[in-house]
């Protein structure tokens, strides 16, 4: 029942009428070709609203894998490396706040009726106001509020009944009006939070104090800027399609004290935005950009004097801001680099200056962009042309009621109902924009129907666990170097393979082989293949097992001696493998074979 709801929520959301379906399709297509993303200005350093592209296009999955690999490497290096914490970190505490800018999934722009676009020909989706023609005025598209509200609700924010738009002034050629329309004085959502559980961290790296709750100060709506394409040495091409694309800016409180937590926080926010269908693209596609505020202070000392306060969090050290971080890895690395820079500075008797800094992927340290005296005074002014936005409580209630199931809730469901481990649930959730999860639900539910098992039956979780294994491990290894597709091995095919396996009509080895041939494009039905490959399981009788096993043991007396006298238990597996290999398909089951071998082995004399 619940499973159905979850799936339906996914389906329903993607069918909401105000979402431009072609934009959605474009967004999906683009992920296939993310390497060919048009290059944007790498030199852009002035503003958060128009950032250079994600240079580091590392897909999220890969980032996850890399993180896991690094983790492995670290642990392989022995307990030493894990324990060898930098003594400086014992002394200094890091504090981080994050601002995340995310492109909203809307059909129209924030202040014009022009359609949003991702990869249309340059300057084909720009209205008079988008290009700031004299006499043109903003037309607030109230539909853009819906994904923004869903996002804010997902972060448990208080939705303000009244919010308003302000102009943030700065000059840059990608900003046609000379100001960005944002919500400075009265944002539409405040006081939310995001909670990080162990499953939100790469395997084995979750901090001990999980779950960690990070406050969200506010969520505000604002406009994106134009795209600049530089053609060195002196040509700047401007594409106004992106101007006024709706963004939300999510501002966390300085509640983060670990670069790993910052990375997990960004990843989690990204997942939540995707789940409630608030955003078109993830960070890896430039749909998400982050700025981080970093400061350090000496542990155990209350900075009553000279201590700074940001957003009501007091006693902090002088912070610096690192702008334009375009990937989760960049967030983590930049924070580490900036933390170390500040510690070094303070330990050598210097002081941290309030400044804006930049980070390029692969570098060892952050780079100063401008100091305090170079800070831009944005001259925030309420926009006289845009009336305040009043959000009725019934709309908020309706959206809250129909909010898609959030990742944490899905993880719970996967663990409790579907019998997955928390780790597998998290992995499933993070793969392929939720497509893999949807595939999993589809297969499990079809299989349950086929086997007449209800979701309330205790067998259901065993079913889920089995399917989870196939979807994550077996299909996982097949899709290792390929783009995920839910149709290459359709849910129906997997259902029928797993069903045959569970009925013990085929062995697990046959099932894997079936999956592999279907993956390679075999068109014959699973049933037919079982017949053609002669896979139907004809188990040997116990006597046949014993005879077969004894023959093998007699062939290799030295190996038998190794097992019996030297205790090389692993060599039992070799015999099992031989039994599988030498018997016809679908006759020998590995566990029975192993049991038989063990029984036939002479008892070790010493053991007596």
Give the residues lining the site for other proteins (CB under 8 A): 43, 128, 131-140, 167, 169, 171-173, 176-179, 234, 236, 238, 377, 379-381, 384-387
N- to C-terminal Cα distance for the chain? 56
Pair of tokens at residue 35:
């390497």
In the complex, minimum distance from the CB of residue 437 to other proteins, in angstroms, rounded to a whole number = 42
In the complex, minimum distance from the CB of residue 371 to other proteins, in angstroms, rounded to a whole number = 14
| Region of residue 497 (phi > 0: left; psi between -120 and 50: alpha; otherwise: beta) | alpha
Whose Cβ is closer to other proteins: residue 18's or residue 380's? Answer: 380
In the complex, minimum distance from the CB of residue 167 to other proteins, in angstroms, rounded to a whole number = 6
Pairing assessment for the beta strands 288-298 and 92-103 based on DSSP bridges: antiparallel
For the chain, what percentages of helix, strand and coil (3-state, to nearest 5) are there? 45, 15, 40
In the complex, minimum distance from the CB of residue 389 to other proteins, in angstroms, rounded to a whole number = 12
In the complex, minimum distance from the CB of residue 52 to other proteins, in angstroms, rounded to a whole number = 15
Tokens 């592999």 identify what position?
Answer: 516
Q: What is the largest CA-CA distance in the chain?
A: 99
In the complex, minimum distance from the CB of residue 103 to other proteins, in angstroms, rounded to a whole number = 23
In the complex, minimum distance from the CB of residue 367 to other proteins, in angstroms, rounded to a whole number = 15
Pairing assessment for the beta strands 356-358 and 320-325 based on DSSP bridges: parallel
Whose Cβ is closer to other proteins: residue 310's or residue 533's? Answer: 310
Whose Cβ is closer to other proteins: residue 312's or residue 384's? Answer: 384
Whose Cβ is closer to other proteins: residue 243's or residue 498's? Answer: 243
Per the CB < 8 A criterion, the answer to whether 393 and 401 are in contact is no
Whose Cβ is closer to other proteins: residue 172's or residue 533's? Answer: 172
In the complex, minimum distance from the CB of residue 391 to other proteins, in angstroms, rounded to a whole number = 18
Whose Cβ is closer to other proteins: residue 84's or residue 128's? Answer: 128
In the complex, minimum distance from the CB of residue 405 to other proteins, in angstroms, rounded to a whole number = 37
Q: Is it true that the peptide bond before 324 is cis, omega within 30 degrees of 0?
A: no
Whose Cβ is closer to other proteins: residue 87's or residue 384's? Answer: 384
CA distance 194 to 152: 11
Whose Cβ is closer to other proteins: residue 377's or residue 523's? Answer: 377
Whose Cβ is closer to other proteins: residue 126's or residue 247's? Answer: 126
In the complex, minimum distance from the CB of residue 385 to other proteins, in angstroms, rounded to a whole number = 5
Whose Cβ is closer to other proteins: residue 133's or residue 390's? Answer: 133
Candidates 444, 439, 413; CA nearest to 426 is 413
Candidates 155, 182, 238; CA nearest to 49 is 182
In the complex, minimum distance from the CB of residue 307 to other proteins, in angstroms, rounded to a whole number = 22
Q: What are phi and psi of 169, to 5 degrees?
A: -90, 130
Whose Cβ is closer to other proteins: residue 169's or residue 525's? Answer: 169
CA distance 31 to 290: 20
Residues whose CB is less than 8 angstroms from the CB of residue 281 and which lie 6 or more positions away in sequence, other chains included: 27, 30, 31, 103, 118, 287, 288
CA distance 390 to 388: 6
In the complex, minimum distance from the CB of residue 127 to other proteins, in angstroms, rounded to a whole number = 11
In the complex, minimum distance from the CB of residue 338 to other proteins, in angstroms, rounded to a whole number = 23
Residues whose CB is less than 8 angstroms from the CB of residue 524 and which lie 6 or more positions away in sequence, other chains included: 532
| Residue 106 C-beta-side C-alpha neighbours within 13 Å | 33
Residues whose CB is less than 8 angstroms from the CB of residue 115 and which lie 6 or more positions away in sequence, other chains included: 20, 23, 107, 108, 109, 125
In the complex, minimum distance from the CB of residue 222 to other proteins, in angstroms, rounded to a whole number = 16
Whose Cβ is closer to other proteins: residue 238's or residue 463's? Answer: 238
Per the CB < 8 A criterion, the answer to whether 56 and 328 are in contact is no
Whose Cβ is closer to other proteins: residue 43's or residue 392's? Answer: 43
CA distance 581 to 437: 35
Residues whose CB is less than 8 angstroms from the CB of residue 101 and which lie 6 or more positions away in sequence, other chains included: 48, 49, 51, 222, 247, 248, 249, 288, 289, 290, 291
CA distance 419 to 458: 10
CA distance 289 to 273: 13
In the complex, minimum distance from the CB of residue 117 to other proteins, in angstroms, rounded to a whole number = 18
Q: How many CB atoms lie within 10 A of CB 440?
A: 29
Candidates 446, 520, 533, 534; CA nearest to 482 is 520
Whose Cβ is closer to other proteins: residue 181's or residue 475's? Answer: 181
CA distance 561 to 558: 5
Q: Is the dihedral of CA 268, 271, 276, 282 positive or negative?
A: positive
How many residues would you count in the chain? 608
Whose Cβ is closer to other proteins: residue 167's or residue 268's? Answer: 167
In sequence order, which ranges of 45-110 are alpha helices (DSSP H)? 60-76, 79-83, 87-91
């Amino acid at each position: 029942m619940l499973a159905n709801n979850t799936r339906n929520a996914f389906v329903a959301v993607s069918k909401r009428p105000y979402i431009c379906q072609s934009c959605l399709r474009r967004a999906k297509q683009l992920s296939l070709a993310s390497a060919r993303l048009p290059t944007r200005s790498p030199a852009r350093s002035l503003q958060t609203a128009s950032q250079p592209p994600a240079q580091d296009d590392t897909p999220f999955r890969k980032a996850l894998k890399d993180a896991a690999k690094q983790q492995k490497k670290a642990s392989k290096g022995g307990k030493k490396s894990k324990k060898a914490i930098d003594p400086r970190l014992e002394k200094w505490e890091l504090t981080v706040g994050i601002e995340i800018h995310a492109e909203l999934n809307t059909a129209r722009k924030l202040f014009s009726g022009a359609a949003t676009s991702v990869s249309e020909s340059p300057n084909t989706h720009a209205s008079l106001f988008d290009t700031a023609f004299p006499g043109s005025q903003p037309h607030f598209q109230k539909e853009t509020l819906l994904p923004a509200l869903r996002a804010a609700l997902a972060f448990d924010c208080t939705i303000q009944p009244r919010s308003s738009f302000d102009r943030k002034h700065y000059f840059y050629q990608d900003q046609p009006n000379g100001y960005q329309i944002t919500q400075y004085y009265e944002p539409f959502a405040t006081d939310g939070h995001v909670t990080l559980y162990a499953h939100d961290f790469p395997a084995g790296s979750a901090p001990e104090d999980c779950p960690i709750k990070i406050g969200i100060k506010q969520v505000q709506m604002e406009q994106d800027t134009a795209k600049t394409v530089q053609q060195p040495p002196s040509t700047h091409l401007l594409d106004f399609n992106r101007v006024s694309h709706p963004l939300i800016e999510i501002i966390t409180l300085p509640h983060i004290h670990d670069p790993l937590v910052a990375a997990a926080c960004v990843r989690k926010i990204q997942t939540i935005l995707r789940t409630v269908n608030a955003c078109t693209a993830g960070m890896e596609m430039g749909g998400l950009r982050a700025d981080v505020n970093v400061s350090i202070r000496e542990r155990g000392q209350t900075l009553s004097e000279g201590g700074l306060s940001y957003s009501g969090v007091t006693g902090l050290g002088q912070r610096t801001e690192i702008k334009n971080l375009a990937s989760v890895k960049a967030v983590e690395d930049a924070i580490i680099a900036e933390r170390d820079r500040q510690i070094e500075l303070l330990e050598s008797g210097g002081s941290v200056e309030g400044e804006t800094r930049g980070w390029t992927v692969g570098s060892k340290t952050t780079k100063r962009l401008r100091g305090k005296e170079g800070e831009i005074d944005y001259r925030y002014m309420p926009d006289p042309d845009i009336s305040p936005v009043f959000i009725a409580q019934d709309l908020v209630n309706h959206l809250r009621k129909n909010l898609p199931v959030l990742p944490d809730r899905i993880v719970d469901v996967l663990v409790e109902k579907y019998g997955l481990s928390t780790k597998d649930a998290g992995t499933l959730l993070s793969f392929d924009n939720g497509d893999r999860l949807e595939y999993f639900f589809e297969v499990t539910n079809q299989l349950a129907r086929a086997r007449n098992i209800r979701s309330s039956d205790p067998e259901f979780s065993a079913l889920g666990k089995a399917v989870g294994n196939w979807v994550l491990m077996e299909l996982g290894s097949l899709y290792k170097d390929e783009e995920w597709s839910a149709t290459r091995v359709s849910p129906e095919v997997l259902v029928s393979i797993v069903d045959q396996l569970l009925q013990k009509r085929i062995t697990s080895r046959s099932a894997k082989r079936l999956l592999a041939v279907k993956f390679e494009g075999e068109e014959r039905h699973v049933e037919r293949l079982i017949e053609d490959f002669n896979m139907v399981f004809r188990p040997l009788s116990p006597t046949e097992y014993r005879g077969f096993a004894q023959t093998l043991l007699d062939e290799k007396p030295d190996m038998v001696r190794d097992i019996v006298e030297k205790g090389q238990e692993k060599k039992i597996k070799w015999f099992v493998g031989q039994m599988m290999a030498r018997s016809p398909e679908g006759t020998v089951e590995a566990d029975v074979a192993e049991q038989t071998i063990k029984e036939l082995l002479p008892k070790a004399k010493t053991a007596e």
